[in-house]
Chains A and B, each alone.
Chain A
């Protein structure tokens, strides 16, 4: 009981020994432990403790995949310079149109997405490259796979950057340099080739765990690296490096993919339209693609895809964003068939009214609209109405058909248009509902046929057509066919002077 203690005694005790009590209190206060001011970030990962285990490597791979997705989940302006795509020159589309009419300057607001996303990927890849080998608690395979993936991601990022902007800064580690100089194109390609040569040996044939979904590898495999390297060689053979010896390397690399396609499970889908069905968002034609799912809890921007359903949908007729549409001349040259029907929209429902159907010539903009990036799980085909502003659709980066066409072109340019070259392109033509290419074409004619074929096959797909025009030095030539129904060119590119071949480096770089 408290009563047992005589309060008065306590008070008297305190009152009688003031100095002693105070000293005790002071000592208590001063006796703080030395660890009081140490920082221990219990809920966060520090660089010192990371990249040690197989799980760490997987966490890094996951972040790298998300980073790269930012480059392929919306339209980007530089490839509007291609003859497959154009934008109206009004209001908020002027920045797209500026590339279409060769008038873009360094302040263009619609091109920085790529710059930032690719360099963000490079930063993460460089970090993983500097550390994957230190993962003492991972197997040699796990380390190689992680390192190979990082090499692949750095290579593909620089490949897009240099094709778009030419000479660009080339960080290969995580140092910071406010005045980093631009690297020469040849140096960039040397890095890209070196990285891909490592990636094709270090990457697995198949991934396990979350990177394998519906039987498809979400992350790149050996096959993806070889396919990309084939494309890199083909590009190096053209402008600006013009290293003709690379054709044979491209052909050989593409052939490796074709010959071993069963290893990686690559096929051409039987029907071209199936590629763009939401139910086929995991499919065997994807050699490398970006996969999205906006329904993931806490889904951040890179988890959803804004390519579908709105950017290529007509505005007035169906409530799309109309960020771009097909160029008329290109559309007119596009051979009819199931591929064309899946590439362009045929029937337009005025004000989403299925009873009020017009053709593209009678749309407000009088242009054919791409149909490729339209379907998601909420698009309503009965009235052509979008259910949401973003989606979980897939953005293909390398399709198997591209490997076939790369082979066809590279084989023709190195060994001549032989039977193997014909076989490769005709697989693509056959699926498109076209007759085989006439026998006995000259090397140049065959090559032109393949480049055209790539145009039809990949129209509207993230600049594949634009990069083809640049490497084959046919930008001016392609624009000579520009339809009068397009916005008139403000500036005129020259195939001799290679003007407007590269986009202006972003002002905020």
Chain B
């Protein structure tokens, strides 16, 4: 990273000098709004020099203008920007006009900006204004349901839990489907979207089609989310406080058996009186769900200061979030600060530094023991069991399942993670001439984390232990951009050239011990362990990129954009390292044509079309090298000895996965911009899939990486925004977005079906998902369940579970599995409504996702016997089929024929409609607080969900990928919350 260092040195050198200013003259004046009312806080800036001030309460201002300055720029939120030439004036009176459309907004498009009216690609913008009425802890929650074509799923409701975000469907089977996140020009490599402070975000741009994302080449296949953080503005310092407290409760609970019923069913299942006297449990026993779930509290506080003068602008913020989990003894605390600084060093040289630092302390918020986790444990543990054998003595193992006491597991767990997040970037923008600008951006994003855990005698009986570990990930980026922009007559040409280097270094270190002599030091003294084991690792990837882009417009009617990016990746070998990614797009501003204008219907009408190629290299470093697998074996002693064995085969011929996408879009504006509609159709073909194909178990199992197959995503997106009603006191604004996506596997080379690996062994014993030609990704492959036998039939007795013998061999088995739906949603939508009345504002936000199935292994674990859980616990399953209860589809627990968990019986509709947010806010009258403006609000999230899904939460799945997807194996559910909040501006 020689280059980055040099560039940074240059920055530092330049930053040390502050330009002394030449002679100045004083200008005074007043700024008013459309209704002649004085505007307080409007920004006044000297054009080309960047320094400025803001207006006072009566709209007046005073500004010193250097002799080189000859124009003032006036701006105010929601108003059109206005430029006023000074000539010899010493006083200026300005009336700003209300903004009629968003078309003049500048949109960030990656290595540059463009006016929305000139866009030719599919780009959605989400302003922080859009979700200001919803308390959000993670930026992905802000996107959920608000951007057409983007699907957001909260896979885990744990504090800081994982979120799946997909733009226009999943493309890749193994290459990763997460979009690229770019914060102020920094492509995040070590940190994630969830690591940011949401309040710092000014806007997010979602680049969806290939003509928009091709500038990101090999990282653009899954779409790009560009995040712009808030920057300072000239004028008096403005201080803002936002705080809220949320009260969390479980959305729902499973209806389980009472202890008496449980005992009776267990007797039937075991065929003998395992419980001699079920009635003796009446009124006794344990409600394990109540034990592990708690009504928890989350609080969030955020404070920011923004301002600027004399060519310097700043935005500084700090935040603190304390989130208690829905599961007892799980939590996350986050705090951090951001400082965004922009300095105008000279009329030609701009310099900026953004620094973001955060700390994330998590406690027990990981996946605790996979299938035997506290959630599945609480649902399957016998209600006849007591929590404790004696005071302070847990009842460790019950009659069923084989997993340990779930309350003990979560209560006695002590797993901490302390993460440090840093995102630094410095940029230097140098105007070589009026039409040529050179920008250098140097950035580092890093995440270092320390994990520590203590396993006491309850977690690790007879053998307590402790461990610590550390991970470090550093991503360096250096972008050098040359931008040309010139207008000749009716021609407008912008050209961009880029050279960029990105690289990441990752390493980890783990020290683990057992036979801990004393628990008194917690996990802090690893030396107290009798036996020790250490391991460490390292990885590194690098990407070298060249990109060129030309955007041309003629007569403000015809728009053309062409880009070409060439990427070299360290993850591929030899000639496969390099690949090129071109794109073309065009736009036609029909509303600027006379024949459309004459119709008098459209205030804006633009047709867009684009085609482009993007790539995917999101495999782990060294994936093609055939590394050996590392194992630890004890030779029967308490010591671990390192061992190595053959891993997956080396695959040096593997190359880039590429996506080709076509997009056709139409932007329409009506009633002078009061109603805007955007419609897009896209067709995306991903080929040369990076696919880890399963190696037969007789060849030792594992997988090998190949470039085979094709996946297609096509769909429609609609976004309708408007203000249907605007009266003197009541305003109703609304936005509706609808996204239809059809995902299909087109080709898998010589195979037509690839089975995935078994997930949830002990419950599930065969692959239940496949990748199959003609099916969407995440296809379920299950034995068709047909209820119960109503009468004796050969080896089957009335009341036995009935399955379809698909291959007709007279026996039920995995050869009878059929495709039974997919985990990939086909239709997602969001509907947001705001009603402003006087000082009140009501927000109602509904969001939905449809067309996907979920395999509810959690539910199944409660409903039929499996090798880990021998007795059933689901209340419904107690209502089993008998000759006098023939409507039931539940098999008799005493059945001598097997009930298959790997059947369609446990595949459930994952579609849902959710009232995501309802909030009511009240802005305090201005005369109430002299110095500040304040707003109070109360809101509720996830308060109602319409779904056929029988689990806790249709969003929560344990297996959150795309081909291994939609399997609920004790997923941590999201809570429903009630929030009260306060916002104060000084």
Contacts and interface: CB of A to CB of B under 8 A. Distances in A.
Nearest to B497: A26
Contacts of A63: 629, 631, 633, 643-645
A167 B17 CA distance: 82
A91 B865 contact: yes
B817 to A, nearest CB: 9
Given A32-B544, A40-B540, A47-B650, A316 B640 contact: no
A88 B533 contact: no
Given A22-B438, A29-B499, A124-B700, A389 B270 contact: no
Contact of B645 (A21, A60, A90, A281): A60
Interface string A79-100: 0000000001111111100000
Interface in B867-883: 867-871
A110 to B, nearest CB: 7
Contacts of B699: 119, 123, 169, 171, 175-177, 180
Nearest to B271: A90
A308 interface: no
Interface in B619-633: 621-622, 625-633
A298 interface: yes
A178 B699 CA distance: 8
B896 A90 contact: yes
A14 B348 contact: yes
Nearest to A18: B432
Interface in B849-887: 865-871
Contact of B634 (A26, A296, A310, A316): A296
A66 B272 contact: no
Given A28-B3, A109-B766, A365 B348 contact: no
A452 interface: no
B814 interface: yes
Contacts of B532: 297
B633 A303 contact: yes
B803 to A, nearest CB: 11
A486 to B, nearest CB: 13
Contacts of A60: 643-645
Contact of B570 (A39, A213, A281, A389): A39
Contacts of B897: 94
A112 interface: yes
Interface in B219-277: 269-274
A460 B811 CA distance: 29
A69 B633 CA distance: 10
Interface in B783-816: 795, 811-815
Nearest to B624: A39
Contacts of A292: 634, 636
A112 B813 CA distance: 14
Contacts of B538: 41-44
A152 B811 CA distance: 38
A302 B867 contact: no
A358 interface: no
Given A25-B440, A65-B635, A299-B632, A364 B539 contact: no
A14 B428 CA distance: 13
A201 B629 CA distance: 29
Given A105-B811, A297-B465, A122 B700 contact: yes
Contacts of A365: 272
A115 B3 contact: no
B628 A295 contact: no
Interface in B321-376: 345-346, 348-349
Contact of A119 (B433, B536, B698, B704): B698
A82 B848 CA distance: 56
A361 interface: no
B480 A26 contact: yes
Interface stretch (A1-9, A330-338, A424-432, A437-445): A1-9
A176 B628 contact: no
A45 B628 contact: yes
B633 A127 contact: no
Interface string A32-64: 110011111111111100100000100111111
B636 A293 contact: yes
Interface stretch (B506-514, B551-559, B662-670): B506-514
Nearest to B512: A297
Main secondary structure, interface of A, reads loop
B642 interface: yes
A94 B894 CA distance: 12
B462 A91 contact: no
Nearest to A49: B628
B136 to A, nearest CB: 38
B815 A107 contact: yes
B643 A180 contact: no
User: What band does the interface of chain B fall in when counting residues whose beta carbon is under 8 Å from A?
Assistant: 35 or more
A32 B571 CA distance: 17
A284 interface: no
Interface string A260-300: 00000000000000000000011000000001111111111
A123 to B, nearest CB: 3
Contact of A296 (B503, B638, B896, B898): B638
B865 A30 contact: no
B529 A297 contact: yes
A137 interface: no
Contacts of A388: 461-462
Nearest to A302: B633
B203 to A, nearest CB: 29
Contacts of B510: 298
B629 A297 contact: no
B129 interface: no
B642 A59 contact: yes
A364 B272 contact: yes
B627 A41 contact: yes
Given A174-B646, A180-B698, A293-B637, A44 B537 contact: yes
A291 B635 contact: yes
A363 to B, nearest CB: 9
Interface stretch (A224-232, A238-246, A501-509): A501-509
Given A22-B438, A169-B698, A377-B462, A315 B274 contact: yes
A264 B744 CA distance: 62
B264 to A, nearest CB: 14
B402 A389 contact: yes
A91 B270 contact: yes
Given A7-B20, A28-B6, A29-B478, A297 B514 contact: yes
Nearest to B18: A7
A218 B436 CA distance: 74
Contact of A507 (B461, B813, B869): B813
Nearest to B871: A91
Interface string B48-83: 000000000000000000000000000000000000
B685 interface: no
B20 A295 contact: no
A21 B428 CA distance: 13
A5 to B, nearest CB: 7
Interface in A353-388: 364-365, 377-378, 386-388
B209 interface: no
Contacts of A66: 631-633, 643
B542 interface: yes
Contacts of B641: 62, 210
A377 B463 CA distance: 11
A277 to B, nearest CB: 15
Closest 6 A/B residue pairs (Cβ) = A123-B700, A291-B636, A62-B643, A107-B813, A91-B865, A43-B538
Given A29-B3, A46-B628, A62-B642, 16 more contacts: A11-B19, A14-B430, A25-B480, A36-B501, A36-B542, A46-B626, A64-B643, A94-B896, A180-B698, A213-B637, A291-B634, A295-B514, A295-B515, A297-B531, A388-B462, A508-B767
22 contacts: A2-B16, A7-B17, A8-B19, A14-B430, A37-B543, A43-B538, A62-B641, A92-B867, A109-B867, A112-B765, A115-B698, A119-B697, A210-B641, A296-B533, A297-B640, A298-B512, A302-B633, A316-B274, A319-B399, A388-B462, A506-B697, A509-B697
